């Protein structure tokens, strides 16, 4: 994939943090803030950024664990898994949302984005953050992949005023079927919210670095996401 990528710094009152920027071949396009899983802005998340850049988007993935260590990159098993869970539990959710706000300000300020629209796309922990980013009114559209915890924040459902696309796996052992059902019911009367459930797909089905990778579900979800983004941005 021919993309132009680099790490850039984002300034906040608390200090600087890094964000991985990937530009499309044409140099310009709508913006995407890409929100990480609990494993940091690792190779997989950078690959996803490059994939969306190849699809024509300007992608910026903030390092949301920077307060605990810059550019932490983890794998998916054993000690790395344990560390990832600890990092997530130690993350101040309000501060993470502030970091996303700062990232979006930088993203919208890039010449490559100009006056184009922007969306958030998040995976797992980032999926939940993408939902909140939409509820906070910071983006023009949002995508959430297996966003764990959305079912516990449905009091914000009425705050969602932009189109949202959610992807879930039917065999996700982190997000029970009942949780997906409660999310669907909360948005029953909101035609802007679209929910897809992929059969035989487990948690993390989009990540080809994980044993739960499901090629068919990942392809379908990516296709659905591109159609959604193409219509909304």
The residues that are catalytic are: 172, 203
Would strands 31-35 and 15-23 be described as parallel, antiparallel, or unpaired? unpaired
Query: Residue 207 and residue 175: Cα distance in Å, rounded?
Result: 17
d(CA 106, CA 60): 9
Helix axes 93-109, 125-135, angle to 10 degrees: 70
Torsion of CA 191, 196, 197, 199, to 10 degrees: 140
Rounded CA gap, 108 and 166, in Å?
24
Task: Specify whether the CB–CB gap between 153 and 120 falls below 8 A.
Answer: no
Instruction: Specify the 3-state DSSP secondary structure of 87.
Output: helix
Phi-psi category of 18—alpha, beta or left, where left has phi over 0 and alpha has psi -120 to 50?
beta
DSSP states of 20-70: EEEE-TTS---EEEEE--TT-S-HHHHHHHHHHHHTT-EEEEE-TTGGG-T
- Opening angle at CA 222, ends 133 and 26, nearest 5: 85
């Amino acid at each position: 994939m021919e993309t132009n990528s680099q790490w850039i710094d984002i300034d906040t009152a608390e200090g600087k943090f890094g964000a991985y920027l990937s530009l499309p071949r044409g140099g310009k396009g709508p913006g995407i803030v890409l929100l990480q899983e609990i494993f940091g802005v690792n190779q997989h998340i950078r690959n996803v950024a490059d994939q969306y850049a190849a699809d024509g988007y300007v992608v910026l993935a903030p390092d949301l664990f920077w307060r605990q260590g810059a550019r932490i990159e983890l794998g998916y098993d054993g000690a790395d898994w344990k560390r990832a869970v600890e990092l997530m539990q130690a993350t101040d959710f309000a501060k993470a949302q502030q970091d996303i706000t700062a990232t979006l300000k930088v993203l919208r300020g890039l010449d490559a984005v100009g006056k184009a629209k922007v969306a958030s796309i998040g995976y797992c922990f980032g999926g939940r953050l993408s939902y909140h980013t939409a509820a906070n009114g910071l983006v023009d559209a949002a995508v959430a992949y297996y966003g764990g915890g959305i079912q516990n924040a449905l009091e914000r459902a009425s705050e969602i005023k932009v189109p949202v696309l959610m992807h879930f796996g039917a065999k996700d052992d982190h997000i029970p079927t009942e949780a997906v059902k409660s999310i669907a019911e909360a948005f029953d009367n909101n035609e802007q919210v679209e929910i897809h459930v992929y059969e035989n797909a487990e948690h993390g089905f989009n990540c080809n670095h994980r044993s739960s990778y499901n090629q068919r579900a990942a392809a379908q979800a990516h296709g659905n996401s591109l159609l959604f983004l193409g219509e909304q941005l």
